[in-house]
Amino acid sequence: MSLVEGAPAPINPEVQAAAAKALDQLNEHTLKTVHWHFSDDTGSPFWLEKKAELNFDPLTDVKSFDDLKKFPHFEDEWLRGGPINRWVPKGHAGKPVYVFETGGTTGIPKSRMVIEDHWKDYELFSDTLPDEHFPKGSNWLMLGPSGPRRLRLAVEHLAQHRGGICFCIDLDPRWVVKLIKKGWMDHLEEYKKHCIDQAITILTAGHDVKCMFATPKLLESLNEGLEEKGTSLAEVGIKGIFSGGTEFTPQWTRFAVEEMLGGSPDEGGVFMTPTYGNTLMGLACSKPITAADGYKISYYAPQPRAVTEVVQFDDYNAKVGYGETGRVKLYTLTDEFFVPGFMERDEGEREQPFDTYPWDGVSGVRPFHELASATTVGVY
């Protein structure tokens, strides 16, 4: 563990009170979620079968969120291969089901079933977007992966939920990884241009697109492509950008705000907010980013539907102190999907609750140091 920027300031009493209330809500939500997934009439075949292997009874022995530590860590390898139906809770039998792939650029992909979670997650996220920068009724551009990915449908739903229409591009992340592994850098560059060309065509075709999602690398490439044509994101009408990806460092954010977007929204006219998410959790929102705070990025999970903890490298059931470094541990607690503690491939620093999100956050997210060399970061 390393201490970052000295001892953190004390949490004020109002935030402490809000945090205590949020914990009560989390405990209640945990109890309800566990009972749903482990009751014979509502649980999924996977968890009902897994219950027989546990050395405790989830229905009687889980009384709080902290009791989820009794479960073994969730292994995402369980998601590789089928049948996918074993993950569908009996309580949702007969409803239309989506399947989304996560990770796995070669071999059998990991798959997660979803019914409405991606809609709910992004409707909650929508409530955090400032309307002056993400105007209701505006059309959107989805500049990210296509195919069997949750993100594309989720962004499309976000646009529709806010009264707009979403334009998408074709982008196959598996092909990108193959190009990198083969060392075909010329092909990689051409494929990136192919994706950016699609985006520029949409933005310059008179569709009144004002909002967009993009990964940091693609956003940078799009900005360069527009500059080559003598225009900019602001000039083609973009007002709000939400972005996500592991390249979201304070350094890149400073570059994006000061160089690419022309300063703060008041100066450059384009607002950008980072997010941290995946197919298991949904997405975590960022605390507002300011130059005064060194463009530090702190993420907060959408409790009680998902929780992130920053835990010790040598004890995954023990949280680090505020400001200290540890590995990110994820919990998903919805009536569609249950993850009682998954060790993410990321590390970061534990952040204090604050008024908007009165629970722990995580900052400085980066690949977990023990896995970093084997992690393909920033495919797109």
- Tens of pLDDT, residue by residue over 222-257, are 999 999 999 999 999 999 999 887 677 888 888 888
- Tens of pLDDT, residue by residue over 316-328, are 999 999 999 999 9
Are 110 and 101 spatial neighbours (Cβ–Cβ below 8 Å)?
yes
Residue 18 corresponds to which amino acid?
A: A
Are 335 and 91 spatial neighbours (Cβ–Cβ below 8 Å)?
yes
Does the pLDDT at position 376 exceed 60? Answer: no
Number of Cβ atoms within 10 Å of the Cβ of 27: 17
pLDDT of 105 reads 55
Classify residue 304 as exposed, middle or buried by CB count within 10 Å of its CB (0-12, 13-18, 19+).
buried
- Determine how β-strand 240-244 pairs with β-strand 271-278: parallel
- Name the least confident of 64-68, 192-196, 374-378: 374-378
Residues counted in the chain: 380
How far, in Å, CA of 366 to CA of 372, rounded?
Answer: 9
pLDDT of 246 reads 66
pTM: 0.89
Structural domains in the chain, sorted by start: 115-300 (3.40.50.980)
Does the pLDDT at position 312 exceed 60? Answer: yes
- Tens of pLDDT, residue by residue over 53-75, are 999 999 999 999 999 999 999 99
Token couple for 38: 């482990």
DSSP character string of 323-354: TBEEEEEEEEE-SS-EEEEEEEEEEEEEE---
Are 255 and 247 spatial neighbours (Cβ–Cβ below 8 Å)?
no
- In sequence order, the 6+-apart residues with CB closer than 8 A to the CB of 346 are 246, 327, 328, 365, 366, 367, 368
